[in-house]
Amino acid sequence: MRLRRLELKDAPLMLEWMHDKDVVKDLNTDFASKSLDDCVAFIKSSLNDEKNLHLSITDDADAYMGTASLKHIADGTAELAIVVREEAMRRGYAWFGMEEILKKAFEELNLESVYWCVSRLNHRAVRFYDKHNFHEVKDVPAVALERYLECADLKWYSVLRGDDINIRDKVAGCRVIHIKTIPTVNAGELSYFEATHEIPFDIKRIYYISKVPEGTRRGFHAHKELKQVLFCPYGRIQLVLENKNGREEIELSDPSIGVVIEECTWREMLWLQKDSVLCVAASDFYKTEDYIRDYDEFNEIVRKSHD
Ligand code: T46
């Protein structure tokens, strides 16, 4: 996945979602009446627009999957908008676009806040933002409210600079991945990943750790060659990772989040909640000789590989 400038080649796929009734049914703009020329004009105007940043969310083959925007950029704030094609839904593209555009807002454009709204009837969008822990806000800038005077029953969200939002994509240099997750109304979620599609190795072994009392610590070792994806489908587990990039921790509490460990990394796991489950997909069978259980030995190996 990538976030890049819009290109003219994106126009046909942009028009595709505009004419997709399911995608636009709860949006405030009349996209259904737009033409290919409108899309081309929009893309061209976006290239020299200082008040609005519209970027293309693409797949790994550079195909357009949706648009992530910061609109009406002024006075340290901007309005966020994300829209993705039907094909990109439930596959992590919207969240990827959201994280990347928020990074741009705070790290590159130095904004103080970003806000946006959705119709309360747009259950898919409301569920998406709520799932990612964004909260409804009441103190919305007046200029923003004025733009939506015609719209009834909106839910407003905002993120302030420094807010603890989940825009982390690395922990001690290990990739944090978003596992595809499909919600079913009032019936939970189903998460899945497919070997070699999202995971950079063939999976030879799956194991999971369960029935662990709260406060228990496990791990305290590294692997020489083994690569793993760790995720927590139930509960809350603190994962501490240490390698040549330093020592960092992450809380695993969302079934759609995983951490990929590909290099020699010391790991410690702390059960923050009783009965939390840690699942691991591993690149190889269980081999005792692959374990480094001595911290000094681990440090020596990391130091040597660093020299
Ligand atoms: C890791 C963290 C996240 C097996 O016989 N087969 C297996 O596939 C595994 C993983 C373990 N075992 C045996 C070895 C020990 O006698 O199960 C026992 C408990 O293993 P360990 O003390 O290594 O468990 P954790 O929780 O400290 O570490 C485990 C994995 O071993 C390790 O690879 O990265 O989870």
Q: What is the mean pLDDT of residues 246-261?
A: 89
Whether 21 is covered by a domain: the verdict is yes
CATH number, residue 136: 3.40.630.30
CATH number, residue 221: 2.60.120.10
Number of domains the chain is built from: 2
Closest residue by Cα to atom 30, ligand 1, is 219
pTM above the 0.75 mark? no
Helix ranges (DSSP H) in the chain: 11-18, 21-24, 36-46, 93-103, 123-131, 142-147, 295-306
Give which of 161, 163, 184, 66 is closest to 108, Cα–Cα: 161
For residue 250, give the H/E element and its range: strand 246-252
What is the CA(219)–ligand 1 centre distance, in A? 8
Residues 260 and 116 occupy one common structural domain: no
306 or 214, higher pLDDT? 214
pLDDT at 165: 67
Asked whether residue 127 carries a pLDDT value surpassing 90, the answer given is no
What is the CA(225)–ligand 1 centre distance, in A? 15
Instruction: Please indicate whether residue 209, judged by its CB atom, sits closer than 6 Å to ligand 1.
Output: yes
Mutate to test the pocket of ligand 1, among 205, 207, 239, 277 (most ligand atoms within 8 A of CB): 207
Residues 151 and 16 occupy one common structural domain: yes
At 99-123, the pLDDT tens digits run 899 999 999 999 999 999 999 888 8
Q: What is the mean pLDDT of residues 48-77?
A: 95
From the alpha carbon of 291, which atom of ligand 1 is closest? 33
Closest residue by Cα to atom 15, ligand 1, is 288
264 or 138, higher pLDDT? 264
Residues 106 and 204 occupy one common structural domain: no
Asked whether residue 48 carries a pLDDT value surpassing 60, the answer given is yes
Asked whether residue 161 carries a pLDDT value surpassing 90, the answer given is no
Residues 199 and 144 occupy one common structural domain: no
CA distance 204 to 219: 20
Whether 297 is covered by a domain: the verdict is yes
Residues 128 and 33 occupy one common structural domain: yes
pLDDT at 136: 82
Give the largest Cα separation in the chain, rounded: 67
CB 6 within 8 A of CB 46: yes
Instruction: Please indicate whether residue 219, judged by its CB atom, sits closer than 6 Å to ligand 1.
Output: yes
CB 83 within 8 A of CB 66: yes
Instruction: Please indicate whether residue 241, judged by its CB atom, sits closer than 6 Å to ligand 1.
Output: no
Whether 165 is covered by a domain: the verdict is no
Domain end point (choices 133, 160, 187): 160
Q: What is the mean pLDDT of residues 224-236?
A: 95
The whole domain housing 183 covers 170-306
The pairs formed by 103-106 with CB atoms below 8 angstroms and a separation of 24 or more are 103/167, 104/3, 104/53, 104/55, 104/70, 105/70, 105/78, 105/80, 106/161
- pLDDT interval class at 214 (50, 70, 90): very high
Whether 204 is covered by a domain: the verdict is yes
Residues 142 and 177 occupy one common structural domain: no
- pLDDT interval class at 304 (50, 70, 90): confident
Instruction: Please indicate whether residue 192, judged by its CB atom, sits closer than 6 Å to ligand 1.
Output: no
CA distance 179 to 190: 10
Domain end point (choices 160, 195, 230): 160
When mean pLDDT is compared over 21-30, 188-197, 252-261, 283-292, the highest value belongs to 283-292
Domain end point (choices 119, 140, 160): 160
Residues 184 and 154 occupy one common structural domain: no
At 165-196, the pLDDT tens digits run 655 678 899 998 888 888 777 788 899 988 77
Residues 148 and 270 occupy one common structural domain: no
Q: Is 221 a catalytic residue?
A: yes
Instruction: Please indicate whether residue 176, judged by its CB atom, sits closer than 6 Å to ligand 1.
Output: no
Instruction: Please indicate whether residue 267, judged by its CB atom, sits closer than 6 Å to ligand 1.
Output: yes
- pLDDT interval class at 25 (50, 70, 90): confident
223 or 133, higher pLDDT? 223
CB 292 within 8 A of CB 221: yes
At 72 the three-state DSSP class reads strand
- Return the amino acid letter for 233: P
Of the listed 135, 178, 221, 223, which one is catalytic? Answer: 221
Instruction: Please indicate whether residue 227, judged by its CB atom, sits closer than 6 Å to ligand 1.
Output: no
